[in-house]
Structures are given as C-alpha cells and as structure tokens.
A and B are shown apart, each in its own frame.
Chain A
Amino acid sequence: MRLLSTKATCNSHGQDSSYFLGWQEYEKNPYDEILNPKGIIQMGLAENQLSFDLLESWLAKNPDVSGFKRDGKSIFRELALFQDYHGLSSFKKVMVDFMAEIRGNKVTFDPDHMVLTAGSTSANETLMFCLAEQGDAFLLPTPYYPGFDRDLKWRTGVEIVPIHCSSANNFKITEAALQQAYHEAEKLNLNVKGILVTNPSNPLGTTLSLEELNLLVDFVNGHKNMHLISDEIYSGTVFNSPGFVSVMEVLNNRFSDRDQAIWDRVHVVYSLSKDLGLPGFRVGCIYSENDTVVAAATKMSSFGLVSSQTQYLLSVMLADKKFTRNYLVENQKRLKRRQKMLVSGLMRTGIKCLESNAGLFCWVDMRHLLKSNTFEAEMELWMRIVYDVKLNISPGSSCHCSEPGWFRVCFANMSEETLKLAMKRLKSFVVELSSSSDTDNGENKAHSKRNSLTKWVFRLSSRDHRHRDQEER
C-alpha cells in the first residue's frame, strides 16, 4: 500500500515548471542594490509594489483601525471570535463598491452574492470543486497563468484544454480556436464544463475586446451546462485605452431578464493582491448570481477564510471613497509610466512587446533572438537570460504559449533604478548576441551551471512540446 496519496506523489502541483524554477534560481542569488549588485533581478513575479506609500499614508491618518478599535472602543474580542464564513458584512459591502468603482460604476454587485476566499488561488480552486469533477475540463485561452495548472487541476481532478491563440492576430480569442479546443476535449473524452478567461490577461497585459466577450458569452450560452469564469484580478490595473469591460457589463447589457439561464453560469473571481498590492493578506472572492454556487462555495470557504483582522482593516480602508478613488487613479498613472519605461527600454534594444493596456507585465517578443523556432531554443535563450544576463523572466512555454520566443517580463515589482539596470543588462546581452560569430563564446561562461540544469530543462521542454503534440493530434 502506498504511504501517501496519489496527489501527494504526482507533480500536478506544477512546481516543476520553469516558471517556478526561475524563481528558485533567483532565490539563490537575488539582486540587491548594495549587497548583491550582480545578483539576479526578479522580473518573473507579477507584484504591484508601486503604490505602498499611498496605503501607508492612509494608515497614518487612521490610527483607530490598527488597535482593533472602532470609534475608540476595542472590538478585538468581536474580531478574534468572528469566524462566520459569510464574512464581515461591512467588508463585503466595501468590496462590492470597490469592484463597481473599478468598472466605472457601470455594474453593481450584491454583497450577498460574494464569497470571500483566501486569495484568488483558493477562489479558482473552489469554483472548480463547485462546477466540475474528474472527467470534466475547462477551456483556457493560451498563453495563461502557470499557476492555473495547480489551482484548477491538482486536487480537483479537472483537466485544462487550451484554446490556442496566435500572435498573428495579437493572441485574440477566435471562434475557430474555441471550436477547435472544444473538439479536442471531446477527442480526449472530456466533458467541457466551461471556459476560464483572465481579463485583463495574464501574461498578455491586454483587456478582452467586446467582440471576444460576446463570443465567449454566446458560446457558453449555446452549450448546455457550460460555465464562464472571468478572473478579473487585474481589473484595477488598466492604465490605457481601450478601457476595461467586465463580463458582467456584457451580461447586463444583453440579458436584462435575470431569469435567463446565462446568469446562473457566469462567475467572476477577484482579489486585492494585484490592484492593491496586498498578496500577503490573502483576500480573494468569488462573485456569482447562481445561488447554489454561492451556497456551496461559501461552505467550502471554511477551508480558507480571510482573517477577520484583515477583513476589518480593509473594511475601513475601502470605505474611504476619497482614498479609493485617488488610489485607483494614481496607481494606474504609475503603472502606465512604468510600462512605458519597460517598453521603450526594450525598443532601444530592438525588442518589441505586444501592445498592452493593463497588468503588471509585458508580453515580450524575442523570437528574433532564438537560434531556431523551437521550444528548445526558447529554453536555451531563457537559461542564458537567467544565468548570464541575470534576469528572471518567464518563458512563454511555461504559460503554455503555442509559439516559441515569447516571454513575460514584469515591471511593477522593483525600483526605477533596478528596471533601468535590467534594461542595460539586456541591451549588452543582445548586442553581444548579434555581434558574436557563433554562440559558443557566451555558452562557455555558464556552461557548468547549465549542465546541471540541462537534463530537467530538456525534459521539461520536450514534455511541454509532447503535451502540445498530443492535443494537436
């Protein structure tokens, strides 16, 4: 008899992915301006570190909340004992207001339809448990956030079937791609329970067009028992036109009768990790008009409730509408500026990015730097960038991109100086790459390091590739 469960001994947790291994290399040799100026610069972590000062100054003006006080009276006991999985109603009220504000108040949300979860990691998994089971699949447009492989599949037994998007049309979701993915699932004997999209997209940094949203809604509406999950975790990071359109807005405009079946099948996931830059606080939520889903998800949230201490802090902070309004505007301004810095820095090196209007990263086109149009070449380039250039960026294959040569590069988790340094390093590397007669010069430097990684890298890239082959068959 096996000692541990199958789940414990398989690797569906996805941590063997290059996405996470890059982080590990960074952890071994992290850049620090003073202590380790030659270390690896972390550009693989989609964190928003640009606007903490705004949060800190709010805290300075609101001392009550820190000492577990409300109107000068201690509410410590009340909070310490509060474990109701319905969540603090004052917190849910301000969350729905905040979400509405981000959507220009074109949509309103009902706090009774919101389920609080420990981050969107938990929200996405909980939705899978509620909507699907072993033998079912969700369709996801590629490229997608590598964490979904763990969050959606690991403990639930649900499968992901990719909707292949291509650079030819800027990775937009097409009807043909949707249909192909659906048929692919059928061939694999999987029952398609729904589609999950991230809007704005990770890793693309783009918002879904109205056309794409309508396509998705129509597709789901046209299939029995099919759901649409819209992970809108980056909705507050939209800094440029075209603006953000939530799937809820589309539903509002097209289906005024709330009794129509589609209302029971569209669900939104949100979190404060990206918009407010608070990933440590584990604040996520599911929003659904389907009462059964809300009821089931609420019970499941017992496995990952939000700390009442944190709920309380945020209930006060987000109730300050002047603060939230100012925060959203200022944060977006800073993101826009930072993105521009990255894009122009890359441009000067002859590297283009997918045009983006949101998110904490750019989708960078390094196809022209590949030795060959293969994932092996992408891995080789990635290793050089990690070890020689000392930048941790995320290779497109870890995001299940169907074309080699794309990388996700984050820009909001470091200082301006660090970003400039990163651009400088990259420029030197590209110059060296184009001027060297063959690539042996560069390879020798990190040869020994690469040797130790070669085995898993090629196993990894061929596994990704094989997986793709299987689907295309």
Chain B
Amino acid sequence: MAYVSMGEAHRRITEYLNRFCDAVSYQDSSTLCRLLSFSSNSPPLLSLADALNVFQDSSSLIRQSDRFSEYGEILAHVFRSLQSYRVGNLVEAYLAFEKFANAFVQEFRNWESAWALEALYVVCYEIRVLAEKADNDLTSNGKSPEKLKAAGSLLMKVFGVLAGKGPKRVGALYVTCQLFKTYFKLGTVNLCRSVIRSIETARIFDFEEFPRRDKVTYMYYTGRLEVFNENFPAADTKLSYALQNCNPKRERNIRMILKYLVPVKLSLGIIPKDELLRNYNLHEYTKIVQALRKGDLRLLRHALQEHEDRFLRSGVYLVLEKLELQVYQRLMKKIYINQKLSDPARAHQLKLEGIAKALRWLDMDMDLDEVECIMTILIYKNLVKGYLAHKSKVVVLSKQDPFPKLNGKPVSS
C-alpha cells in the first residue's frame, strides 16, 4: 500500500463524496455504478479505500457539509464496507454493505423515477458476490456460512420494491436472476417458485419488455428447473429461447445452456451433430450420443460412469440414465433389421432368447425374466409396438412402424 498523506486522503474522500452527491443530484446512474462497484477493483475505489484507512475519521467529513450528510448513513456504510473490503475482512465488508444496501434501497424507493436502476443492479450484484466471498471465508474458518442466505432475503426485499407497477418493474427480472443464482448456489431452488409465479402471472407487464440479458438468464434458470422436474418439453422451450437470444459471442454462456439443452433434446429423441458437441467443448456427451446411435448399452453405461460426478453435480444424471430405454429400442431395431435380412417371414417375431444373446455380446448378462421385464416396459412406454407372448417367450412386433420415433415428444410414462 502506497503511502498516502493525510491531506491526500482528505482530498480523495472529499472527492468521492462530491462525486456521489453529484451523481445523485444529476441522476447520473453510470457514475453511481462506478462508485459502488467494489468487485471491479477500479483504481479510484482502491485509492479511496487506502485513503479511508489513513484518514480514519471519515464520518466527520460527511457531517461537515449538509450536502453530504443528507446521504450520511449510506456513505458511512459504504466507507466502512470498502475499508474492510480493502483489508480483506470480507465478513465485515459484507455486513457493512448489507446495511448500505438497506439504506440505499430505502432511498431508491423514495425516488419517483427509475433512474438509479443500474446502480441498484450493481448493489444487487455486489451484495451477492460479496456474500459468496464472505461465506467462503466463513467456511474456511470453520464457521457456518450464512451470508448468502442473508443476501437472498435482502434481494427478496429489493424484488418487492421493484415488482409492483410502474417504471421500476423493468428491474424486477434482474433481481429475479440474482435470486436464482443465490438459490441455486444455496441449493434451495424451491424458493424460486414464488418469484417465478410473480413474474409469470403478472398481466401488467409483458415478459418481452424486460431487457434481453435478463430474459436469457431467466429462461436459462427456469429451464434448469424444468430439467429437475423432468418436464422435458418445457425445458426444451425455455433453454432453446435462451440459446436463441443469448449473445452468440459469449461461448461460455452458450456452453452453459447446451449443457442442459443437449440431454433434454436427447430425451426427446433429437440427437445433436458431432460438430456441435465439438465446437462447444461438450465432450462428456459424445459417447452417450454414440451409444444412442448404435444401441450400445454398454457404451452408455460406461459414459455415465465415466462422468458420473459431473453429471450428478450438474443434475442431468437421471435424465441421461433414462436414455437407456431409447438405447434398448435402438438395439431391438438392430436385431429386427438383422432378422429381416436372414428370415424375412418371421422378422416381426423376436425371441427373448435372441435378445438376451445380443445383450450378452454387449457384456450385459441378463436372464429371460429380466429381458421380459425390459420388453414389457418398452412396449408399455410405446417405444416398441407389439405384444409379448409370455408362453412362447416371443415379442411379436407390429407390422407397421414397430419402433416409433419420439420426434420431440417425451417417452410416455
């Protein structure tokens, strides 16, 4: 830390105070954003933090002028938070920032127009990021992390301020997205429901009027929620919306969306091209796609095992596991085609014994009971048309379209 003289410190602090008050009085949102964006680590903010650590009595400076003391509470908390942030005390920084955010939201509520919306976004973002950092600190010190949870309830409060009618509603979706991020991180996604309800049921505000950035994020998260619920058609529409509207230059974002969209599409019987997986670095799905194409059950199981951790964490494991039935279908089709070549007259009669043999080639050791069980499931789920003659242990396939394609419809339950 470079040495800062008293006078210099005094100058810097006064300058910040002046800029803050100017920004508020001229309703200059972008300046205000810059003044509050801690995580940007911008040089002016860092030098201000150093100045604050030298010039301890900043509150007297605030009190000095009526102009400053009007926002005295807000500014005092900002200074305290910045000071702690600078010296690495993130928990203290969070606590002060939370107080500041409360005061700021109160002030924001009183402002008629929504000019400070951008600044509010910054506050929302900063508090979430700061809370995450503080929680990291707390966990490494063996204490229970709870700041993110607190940030969540503060964000909920902000959402309440914005969710009503009027010009401020435009900002509601941004806060919703911050809430999603918080809840997904905390693992309390069920809390998302109330926010979603108030966004989706509101008739007064058209969803399309929200900023595109927020719409994409919103669709991404709600799509993920639908994946959890195994509601694949809905997940498909939401994630596809996100994909179509996101910034095509942001490859990382596209990859994030595809990570969920690919399994969803697979469950609907739509197989992606290899280039897509290659271009967006989605190697974990390559083998699974291959297994689906070939009807190779063994390959599917290997692929699942190989990336089990990753799939479990992202939450697509169960979705991918369910692809097994489609792999069986593919395998059956292959057996059927094979049989048609050798014995066209009896092509639509598949012996269970034969299926079991095919599975044995794939190192899947199953007895007839188990094969029969899988066949009943396939027929029940309409992946195979036909019936199973229990007595003769034969699957009798329908002569018309015995292996119907899913074509974007989910496997019936």
A binds B: no
What residues of chain B have their CB less than 8 Å away from a CB belonging to chain A? none
Residues of A within 8 A of B (CB): none
